[in-house]
Chain A
C-alpha cells in the first residue's frame, strides 16, 4: 500500500525557516518523480516544486531562491527546505508522487499545515 506521511508543519514568523519531510512507503521511491503542492486556506491547489528520479529540480516562480526540494532515497524521504517565509506561504503542503511514466500525480499525502504569522 502506498503511503506518504508529511511532517514538519508549524507556526513560524515571517522571515523564518522550516523543513518539511515526507516519508514514503509501499513503492520504489527512488524511481518516481515527487512533488510538493500547497493549498492556502479556502483556496485552490498550487504546484510548488518537483524533483525527478535523476535529482533534477523545478520550482514555482514565487518560491525560487527561497525553497529547496531534495530527496534521500536511502531513507525513502522527500524534503522541502523553506527559507524567508512569507504570510502568503501559509498553506497545507501536500507531498505527491507521479504515476510512473504518465506525468500525472497519482497519490497524495494528507498534508502538513504551515502557518506564517507574527
Chain B
C-alpha cells in the first residue's frame, strides 16, 4: 500500500499570513490513465471533512482561491495564501491512485 507522509503535523499561523503543508507518497501517484490522483481535504472540529483540491491542483466548487495545490509524482503541496479564522482545523492529503486508498496523518492548523 502507498504510505503518505504529511509535514508539518502542526502549524501555528498568524491571521493573514501564508501557510504551507507538504505531502509525500511512497510511490508515484500517477495513474495508468495519466492523471495524478492526489486530493486535499479540510476537517473542522466536530465536522466531516470537505474536499478542497482534487487531481493535485483543481479547486473544488466553492473553494476560495487562497487555496492552491501543486506538485507532481510523489511530492505535493497545499498553500494557503492568507490564513483566515475559518481555515483552522486539520488538513489531510489523500491518494486514490490505487484501489487501496490512503490518507496522510493530518496537519493541524491553528491560529497563533
Contact = CB atoms under 8 A, between A and B. Distances in A.
B37 A47 contact: no
Contacts of B31: 103
Contacts, number: 68
A58 B96 contact: no
B100 interface: yes
Contacts of A107: 51
Contact of B39 (A58, A61, A105): A105
Interface string A96-111: 0001001111111111
Contacts of A102: 37, 54-55, 58
Interface in A73-118: 94, 99, 102-111
B62 to A, nearest CB: 11
Contacts of B41: 45, 105
B60 A47 contact: no
B111 to A, nearest CB: 21
Nearest to B55: A102
Contact of A104 (B1, B39, B43): B39
A45 B92 contact: yes
Contact of B37 (A44, A103, A108): A103
A5 B26 CA distance: 34
B49 A108 contact: yes
A108 B106 CA distance: 17
Nearest to B39: A104
Interface of B: 1, 31, 35, 37, 39, 41, 43, 48-51, 54-55, 58, 60, 90, 92, 94, 96-97, 99-106
Given A44-B104, A47-B100, A105-B51, 14 more contacts: A44-B92, A44-B103, A45-B103, A46-B103, A47-B94, A50-B99, A58-B100, A61-B1, A94-B49, A99-B51, A103-B96, A104-B54, A104-B60, A107-B51
5 closest residue pairs by CB, A with B: A104-B54, A108-B48, A47-B101, A103-B96, A104-B39
